[in-house]
Amino acid sequence: MSKLLLREYYELCEGGVCQDFLTEAEKRMVKEGHVFLTGVMQRADARNGNGRVYPGPILERETNNYKKLVKERRALGELDHPDDSVINLKNASHLVTDIWWDQGAVMGKIQVLNTPSGQVLKELVNAGVKLGISSRGMGSVHESNGNTIVEDDFQLICFDMVSEPSTTGAFMTPQQINESTVKGVFTKADRINRALNDILRGK
């Protein structure tokens, strides 16, 4: 079974930033003109607008794996919906600076970068455009009771910034632009790190 590129959409906290999530240093940075965005980045065990369900253990595992990229300051994302699983550095607009698991939701904090794409993102935020998060990952799916269930081979790649009409908590997007068959791009070191994390969790 081939893996699909899976993307899911979630809106940020009202106004883009949940102040309670910012450190004092980050609040000072915001006063100096830096932009941080915070909010729900993904949800587990709930049917999303694409009809997919991400089982909690899989999503929690991938959140823990993604923390390595966050710690190494490699957790970059882009604007809109790239059609592949490669993060294009010249299009990077933001850096995920924190990510955590909170009662079935993946929460996160994003710093907008001073790059061409980051400047576009910053202007959108300053103009009051309602922004959302799109998770991008590779994985197989199967159908069960009318839901599309994401399987255990799912690998989270990144979080991209999107702007779509939304309802509270989730962005609804056309199915046809959200999935394409692509090859995996994870390095041997990434696979070893995932295997070690599984061993440490007793799998």
pLDDT tens digits, residue range 48-90? 877 889 999 999 999 999 999 999 999 999 998 787 888 999 9
Q: Could you tell me the end-to-end alpha-carbon distance of the chain, in angstroms, rounded to an integer?
A: 23
* Strands laid side by side in the 36-43 sheet: 36-43, 105-112, 92-102, 76-78
Q: What is the pLDDT of residue 193?
A: 57
Q: Where are the alpha helices (DSSP H) in 82-187?
A: 116-126
- Residue with the bigger pLDDT between 146 and 202: it is 146
| Count of domains forming the chain | 1
Per residue in 134-151, is it b (16+ CB within 10 Å) or e — as a string?
bbbbbbebeeeeeebbbe
> At residue 189, does pLDDT exceed 50?
yes
**pTM for this prediction:** 0.74
Angle in degrees, 0-180, between the axes of helices 188-200 and 56-71, rounded to the nearest 10: 120
Which structure tokens are listed for 41?
A: 């980045």
Which structure tokens are listed for 80?
A: 């809109």
> At residue 165, does pLDDT exceed 80?
no
Which structure tokens are listed for 109?
A: 């904090």
Residues 125 and 112: their CA atoms lie apart, in Å, by 10
Domain containing 19 equals 4-200
Q: Which of the 8 DSSP states describes residue 200?
A: H
**CA nearest 136: which of 115, 108, 160?**
160
Contact predicate 94/80, CB 8 Å: no
> At residue 202, does pLDDT exceed 80?
no
Q: What is the pLDDT of residue 50?
A: 77
